[in-house]
């Protein structure tokens, strides 16, 4: 039988963190093919991986990931969708049960950009 193992990343490098207004986040996400964002602990967000390369694939094998950016907005309560003031609407996925995303948001809240 195949053995399955769960191994979280040892390190995730984040190149940029961008705090947006809710309207700007919804506007940006609605223009993308997968018009949805994630929600965890009062934060609406999306993360964007760096462009795939052989070097990044090697880093993945070493249990490291590189994110190009995380965009986020404070959004206290989870809702299934969120609308901008201009009536753009995106879906919201509740990722509260993901330990990885909970850890990410906990870390994000300690960064200087959180209070800007």
The answer to whether position 18 is within a domain reads yes
The answer to whether position 81 is within a domain reads yes
The answer to whether position 2 is within a domain reads no
Count of Cβ atoms closer than 10 Å to residue 115 Cβ: 7
Domain of 89 in residue numbering reads as: 11-115
The answer to whether position 1 is within a domain reads no
The answer to whether position 4 is within a domain reads no
Residue 97 to residues 3, 7, 40, Cα–Cα distance (Å): 24, 17, 9
Given the structure tokens 């039988």, which residue do they identify?
Answer: 1
Q: Tell me how far the alpha carbon of residue 20 is from its chain's centroid.
A: 13
Per-residue pLDDT of the chain (116 residues; tens, 9 = 90+): 999 998 889 999 999 999 999 999 999 999 887 779 999 999 999 999 877 788 877 878 788 888 999 999 999 999 999 999 999 999 999 999 999 999 999 999 999 999 98
The answer to whether position 55 is within a domain reads yes
The answer to whether position 17 is within a domain reads yes
Task: Note the pTM of the prediction, 2 decimals.
Answer: 0.88
Q: What are phi and psi of 42, to 5 degrees?
A: 80, 20
What token pair was written down for 23?
């309207």
Q: What are phi and psi of 32, to 5 degrees?
A: -90, 160
Cβ atoms of residues 10 and 65 within 8 Å? no
Domain tally for the chain? 1
């Amino acid at each position: 039988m195949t053995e399955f193992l769960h191994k979280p990343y040892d390190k995730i490098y984040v190149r940029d963190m961008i705090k947006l207004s809710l309207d700007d986040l919804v506007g940006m996400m609605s223009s993308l093919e997968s018009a949805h964002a994630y929600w965890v602990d009062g934060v609406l967000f999306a993360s964007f991986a760096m462009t795939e390369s052989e070097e990044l694939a090697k880093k993945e094998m070493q249990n490291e990931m590189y994110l190009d950016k995380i965009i986020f907005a404070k959004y206290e309560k989870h809702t299934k969708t969120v609308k901008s003031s201009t009536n753009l609407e995106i879906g919201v996925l509740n990722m509260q049960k993901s330990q990885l995303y909970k850890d990410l948001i906990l870390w994000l809240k300690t960064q200087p950009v959180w209070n800007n």
